[in-house]
Structure 1
């Protein structure tokens, strides 16, 4: 109870661990948040090719940064960007100098150097040790390079590399997110080799460490303990391809460190911080001699030149010999103030392994609260946890209080006791209410716990009230039964081995033809992951509805093709169109004889399209961002485009490659016919086509503010703080207005019996007036590749936005679009700061859909965003109803949302 009360009293605005797969936000080169003064270079050719012009997709000046003279292979010219604060950098994008056909200079390769302090520079290298990054092949197409591993830095230098004497120019965008942890280096003993009998040799070293290696110690750098990658339960398995066993862990053997019995690590931070806790992800595979640490003691240093404070914080771990799962262990640091920490982790077995460490701290640095008196470590821990919130009011244990202050002290103590009694009463009352309302978390893995995944404030609750998001908000009102452990949501072992599942499939008494149909269906692999462990081993939709499995009455054909009147039931592989964009599902559209003559859109002069950026690509085509010169005049009166006074406008151009198959060409013409039928203010419209010659092109609207995901992720909710600091912001009424517009556009599509199948913020474009238009090409964009799950390289599925029947049965209907609309609302009211179900892997998301099918109350819902009004969150929950008839229609959603805007 003391510990629980302490966690309530010590709730802070701590930040969780960064996930590199989702930390991919533009940092401000293109939109100007990075100022000109923060972009410098070793040289420049002219004033008009200075470093301030090195902005992706911008063509001010002469269109790019160009170093002076022709570059030789031995030259080391660089472009330097100051990000202003420590940043977790995951992606680099580059272009050459295009300047409206007048330039053709670009860098074919480059090095990336970085520094956290501007003094000590490090060279980035990939996991295989290569330092050269692939650059551009032409002057206009942007090349996106993922950093594997990502880096933590403030200053970045791009150094062009050339094999021949040539002129190079560059435009750049950097992607990532703020590194709020503040850790700038850690020091530790080098990792060691583990040679278990009967198993592969595991190399438990820190292979991406960017500091020094001296006397078998790692000094002054960062590496795998801060890369956001959490090791698996089995330390011999890895999340990366083509690496050695044990790659994700840094590990030590007890007897290799002498008789001390502990591993000592030092952590240095960018500034003095008021620490609340440390979270350590530790392996616990005790059958192989690996356990989480038995205890830890941490000393604090307020300044780097000061001495270590005498009194440490000591914490004893509750060891678990039943569950061998890797886990986070949360170590309370009791609001101690420091710029550097030294922690000793004591062995509980032969081996100790860590894959990630991060810290939580308050924004305001307070004077360090020292523990009372001198006691043994165990007593010290208990007394600290039970008294820390009130130690500022207590006198020292070694100095008796002044008699004149005794009444004041007694009054303070009585007040504190009364407050604790009130808090205990409230807690007991809440527990009673939860039991009455039957909202307590259900049992998972035979333990009644709240499911907490990966991060301190990322909490996913089973049928419980909403909790806050992970970044920048204090956790409130929820606590784990054991708050020191953050349970990773574990898959059933069967899910991790599809080969085992194949052996468990029941014998089919039907024909070989029916069996072949099942095995050839692209959903087969998904079903192996999600449904084969059900009671009878099959997931079926029989008699036009969703029923529990019945092997005796359902054939394999019925498993995937029920008699339900769902016109959008389709081969899921063809969800992605020929150009890589999503294809709407529409009823009764015959395209067998479709030709160019059937196209009503006007033919636009293709030479008036100026290509600026490739947005994405598919198997047979690409999506480009272009400028269309003279388009408003070409479209004439009634043009949907704003008046641009003769200037060119941005458009999206879907282009079919000349080598496309006849089927792909027919599909492309079908897509043009579908798009030509759409005419709504909240739906992207087809403007014109270029089909008189190859390559075939369709030209659609594009909005100047880009997609809604990028727009919201770069903003904060409107407040006096955002106004005072000129921080880009949006208001709650803006978010509601966006929601109404999306519901209006989807209402229009539903009225035509169109099914979008990929509704998400990445597929919503907006202009300067915050007008929303629903688009369809987010699927083709590399920037959002992590939002899609790929089935054996044949199809990509936005599974985190898909209804359970779409994932398990391949059924896409207006009702499944309603489900995706609920997830889109959730994105909007979290300002797109995280991915839906961000702490579940793709396989766990698929498993969760199986829970919706079984409907045993174990399905996981998204939490309620703090910005979201309760009535709106109830609307989201209705969109995620398990039973399809219980979901609202888009017309009903529009009517329900519209009054919110008026209020």
Structure 2
């Protein structure tokens, strides 16, 4: 009998490990609407400090609904005090990852909205905490009009039972508000933890701050207590603790870490307080193990359990050793610690140092609610925003009755039944996840089959703005395409409101669309660039048309043409910006973009916007806008042109210089020369990315070559018939350089600096192939699009460009990193430029 139970215990342990993995996957999707819009949250749980009238009570503050007068409106203006608030009571702890706000539309009659607000939250209804972002900012940007929904990712997310919205204003004004919360039930049950304050690791030239910067409790005498922070925010740190997953934060941000020397003791004591008594089966700790820098996973853990606040600690402590001989790999890892199904409301665990430093990123628990039946408890799996699947579990560590022959069969039957029930829970969860993946594939394929692929320009923003003039689609309808987000049906359960897009977001309202003469956008440009002081006046000099001497036609587009011209005596034009590499008496080559006189008013406005914005691009590796001719039609803009033409033609007419020397009379180029030119392109893109400009069409055809192989990035390629085969035409209208585009650009129209990095990888491949063939030359356009779908599915069937013969392995690995499926893991242009200037030149 004892051996049977032992086998059952081992099987149960394996099942628990699988359940932990499933639970972590569920937290990654913890972005469900919590019920303001669909009415799941009743009116009685929505309260406010005041209301302007009965028709603007708190209960009307529901996102995308128009009951009463269309929103919650406080009785008094919100300036200068900040005492008015809208409160939502969720009745149990929730993990809130996102909030949405909206003004009072009222079928077009509303005029009130909230431009900014503060969030406060509480876990007990007594202590209220003001939410801050990772840089300590409390004010959240709100709405710009009455009808659009603005979604704000909470970084860091919050664990709360009650949430309050406090509208703000910079002057006396009336405001109205509608809101929604997005997240899921906090099944972990953790209410607060107490831990020592993290320390600073001083590496050569780099201070690494290992403090719990998002902790929302109190700090006294080197201890943090009464709150939650980075140990339960769902973010797992990487192998290198200096690198962080969050942008613009300090090194070490993803970890909470302690020094044995600074702490003055051999262990780190962490105490965990839970909302209610629970039965604990497993604790999972994500720890760093970079032992080359004195960081190692803890050697053992000792845990004490307290069943209730007024009850004594259990004795003896549960000791769990961690075999260090298995931890020679410096990768970070989750350490799973069995807790034996012990009852407790408070846990105190000592994590013993195995080296000079201990770094922990995340701690989670697999626990269940106590039942009235001794020896059993309930484990609920979050398959939606509420507990859906619950199982009765028999903790593996409970004592077993003696084998007296009378109840052996019954006990074995119970154990087998429990295991089968666990298996059923797991099968149901896996089945749901499988169908989510299927729906995701279908959604992407529908997106590809649309009659016209809608491409959005993009620039990073903390908010996403959704036009709400239409209702949300049902589960069987195809939704409108939102910028920077996959189709909603691929992410939403059939009975739930649509999920908000995942971070980072790209706000369509923040974009200026530049048509140019090609009729297609090239740069994605921040709106601020066109709304700066003095933007109404053109910032460039008016050039006399008679100074432009026509040489040849470079290309044409939907709204005009691009000509190659000469300025015969550029030094005679003092209005031009110098220095140029032009000797007195020698002409200056320029490219002239000419807008047709019969172009539409919108095309003319876009042309002038492009002039204003591109005039800001002053970098040695970006083509300079020199002047304009706008006093009469046709409108013209004059840019630099390089005497050696575009890089694609320049390289395709050369062969790579072999170690044996040049052959015949064919022009040659060396590997160091290629790397030098690639470094210049990376430098120009580094400049563009610093301004949040997204190029969208980086390729060798859009790079120009000057004397001494000086490279400048341009945007003429799309207008040239020579490169028509590089663009995929959709319904005879939009053209897209799909062979240079990241998978998220093709499938979702999501263009970012990270997608420019992808295009740079393809451009580098072109250069090291000396532009002898088109990328993916063995694939049709449709197969290239199918390959983007394989990147999305990430099942190992995606096709990468092969390593060029001259390309060292280290440089090819740089290309592969540019084509990483996860855009956040692609290198920055600053890192690429550093690599090309310092490392790649020395490769053979």
Using the alignment, how far apart are the partners of 1:322 and 1:848 within structure 2? 32
Match of 2:274 in 1: 269
Using the alignment, how far apart are the partners of 1:807 and 1:358 within structure 2? 45
Task: Give the secondary-structure state (helix, strand or coil) at the position aligned to 1:37.
Answer: helix
Match of 2:243 in 1: 237
Superposed displacement of residue 297, structure 1: 1.3
Using the alignment, how far apart are the partners of 2:297 and 2:778 within structure 1? 42
Using the alignment, how far apart are the partners of 2:776 and 2:427 within structure 1? 27
Match of 2:253 in 1: 247
Match of 1:360 in 2: 366
Task: Give the secondary-structure state (helix, strand or coil) at the position aligned to 1:61.
Answer: coil
Superposed displacement of residue 245, structure 1: 1.5
Change over 3 Å in CA distance of 1:467–1:237 after alignment to 2: farther
Task: Give the secondary-structure state (helix, strand or coil) at the position aligned to 2:106.
Answer: coil
Match of 1:172 in 2: 179
The reply to whether residue 26 of structure 1 matches residue 20 of structure 2 is no
Matches within 5 A, 1:246-325: 246-259=252-265, 261-319=266-324, 320-325=326-331
TM superposition score normalised by structure 1: 0.48
Q: Is residue 96–residue 136 contact of structure 1 (8 Å, CA) maintained in 2? A: yes
The reply to whether residue 792 of structure 1 matches residue 799 of structure 2 is no
Task: Give the secondary-structure state (helix, strand or coil) at the position aligned to 2:405.
Answer: helix
Cα deviation, 1:576-634, whole Å, max 9, x if unaligned, reads 634569xxxxxxxxxxxxxxxxxxxxxxxxxxx96789966669xxx99xxxxxxxxxx
Cα deviation, 1:381-425, whole Å, max 9, x if unaligned, reads xxxxxx97474334xxxxxxxxxxxxx6343798799999999xx
Superposed displacement of residue 51, structure 1: 0.9
The reply to whether residue 411 of structure 1 matches residue 410 of structure 2 is no
Change over 3 Å in CA distance of 1:666–1:7 after alignment to 2: same
Matches within 5 A, 1:218-617: 218-259=224-265, 261-319=266-324, 320-365=326-371, 389=396, 391-394=398-401, 409-411=403-405, 469=429, 577-579=454-456
Match of 1:779 in 2: 748
Change over 3 Å in CA distance of 1:18–1:189 after alignment to 2: farther
Match of 1:55 in 2: 62
Q: Is residue 122–residue 160 contact of structure 2 (8 Å, CA) maintained in 1? A: yes
Instruction: Tell me which of 108, 118, 124 is aligned to 1:117.
Output: 124
Task: Give the secondary-structure state (helix, strand or coil) at the position aligned to 1:255.
Answer: helix
Q: Is residue 302–residue 349 contact of structure 2 (8 Å, CA) maintained in 1? A: yes
The alignment's C-alpha RMSD in Å is: 5.3
Match of 1:719 in 2: none
Superposed displacement of residue 96, structure 1: 0.8
Using the alignment, how far apart are the partners of 1:355 and 1:190 within structure 2? 14
Task: Give the secondary-structure state (helix, strand or coil) at the position aligned to 1:145.
Answer: strand
Match of 1:186 in 2: 193
Change over 3 Å in CA distance of 1:245–1:168 after alignment to 2: same
Match of 2:105 in 1: 98
Match of 1:88 in 2: 95
Q: Is residue 457–residue 513 contact of structure 2 (8 Å, CA) maintained in 1? A: no
Change over 3 Å in CA distance of 1:341–1:325 after alignment to 2: same
Matches within 5 A, 1:708-857: 779=748, 790-792=754-756, 813=782, 845=794, 849=798
Cα deviation, 1:46-94, whole Å, max 9, x if unaligned, reads 0100111111111111011000022222231000011232221111111
Match of 2:12 in 1: 9
Change over 3 Å in CA distance of 1:422–1:468 after alignment to 2: closer
Task: Give the secondary-structure state (helix, strand or coil) at the position aligned to 1:104.
Answer: coil
Superposed displacement of residue 7, structure 1: 4.0
Change over 3 Å in CA distance of 1:249–1:95 after alignment to 2: same
Using the alignment, how far apart are the partners of 1:807 and 1:52 within structure 2? 57
Change over 3 Å in CA distance of 1:576–1:153 after alignment to 2: farther
Cα deviation, 1:138-172, whole Å, max 9, x if unaligned, reads 11111111111111112110000111110000011
Superposed displacement of residue 369, structure 1: 7.1
Q: Is residue 24–residue 176 contact of structure 1 (8 Å, CA) maintained in 2? A: yes
Using the alignment, how far apart are the partners of 1:322 and 1:22 within structure 2? 33
Match of 2:142 in 1: 135
Match of 2:663 in 1: none
Using the alignment, how far apart are the partners of 2:100 and 2:40 within structure 1? 16
Q: Which runs of 5+ in 2 are unaligned?
A: 377-393, 434-444, 459-467, 473-478, 489-507, 523-556, 558-599, 604-730, 737-744, 761-774, 804-844
Using the alignment, how far apart are the partners of 1:64 and 1:309 within structure 2? 53
Q: Is residue 301–residue 341 contact of structure 1 (8 Å, CA) maintained in 2? A: yes
Using the alignment, how far apart are the partners of 2:406 and 2:733 within structure 1? 67
Q: Is residue 274–residue 338 contact of structure 1 (8 Å, CA) maintained in 2? A: yes
Change over 3 Å in CA distance of 1:32–1:264 after alignment to 2: same
Using the alignment, how far apart are the partners of 1:81 and 1:36 within structure 2? 10
Using the alignment, how far apart are the partners of 1:5 and 1:353 within structure 2? 35
Using the alignment, how far apart are the partners of 2:338 and 2:216 within structure 1? 28
Change over 3 Å in CA distance of 1:809–1:57 after alignment to 2: farther
Cα deviation, 1:512-536, whole Å, max 9, x if unaligned, reads xxxxxxxxxxxxxxxxxxxxxxxxx
Using the alignment, how far apart are the partners of 1:316 and 1:48 within structure 2? 63
Using the alignment, how far apart are the partners of 2:733 and 2:783 within structure 1? 8
Change over 3 Å in CA distance of 1:137–1:819 after alignment to 2: closer
Change over 3 Å in CA distance of 1:579–1:208 after alignment to 2: closer
Superposed displacement of residue 247, structure 1: 1.2
TM superposition score normalised by structure 2: 0.51
Using the alignment, how far apart are the partners of 1:754 and 1:337 within structure 2? 66
Cα deviation, 1:749-795, whole Å, max 9, x if unaligned, reads xxx9999x9xxxxxxxxxxxxxxxxxx99936xxxx89x99412788
Q: Which runs of 5+ in 1 are unaligned?
A: 371-386, 395-407, 427-455, 460-465, 474-567, 582-608, 625-652, 671-691, 696-751, 758-775, 797-805, 824-835, 838-844, 855-903
Task: Give the secondary-structure state (helix, strand or coil) at the position aligned to 1:117.
Answer: coil
Superposed displacement of residue 277, structure 1: 0.0
Change over 3 Å in CA distance of 1:4–1:241 after alignment to 2: farther
Using the alignment, how far apart are the partners of 1:69 and 1:179 within structure 2? 35
Q: Is residue 580–residue 779 contact of structure 1 (8 Å, CA) maintained in 2? A: no
Superposed displacement of residue 173, structure 1: 1.5
Superposed displacement of residue 853, structure 1: 10
Which protein has the bigger strand share? 2
Superposed displacement of residue 128, structure 1: 0.8
Instruction: Tell me which of 204, 221, 225 is aligned to 1:215.
Output: 221
Match of 2:830 in 1: none
Task: Give the secondary-structure state (helix, strand or coil) at the position aligned to 1:152.
Answer: strand
Q: Is residue 576–residue 795 contact of structure 1 (8 Å, CA) maintained in 2? A: no
Cα deviation, 1:232-256, whole Å, max 9, x if unaligned, reads 1111111122222211111111233
Change over 3 Å in CA distance of 1:134–1:415 after alignment to 2: same
Task: Give the secondary-structure state (helix, strand or coil) at the position aligned to 1:263.
Answer: strand
Q: Is residue 280–residue 343 contact of structure 2 (8 Å, CA) maintained in 1? A: yes
Task: Give the secondary-structure state (helix, strand or coil) at the position aligned to 2:403.
Answer: helix
Cα deviation, 1:9-48, whole Å, max 9, x if unaligned, reads 3545666236776432222211111211111100000010
Match of 1:203 in 2: 209
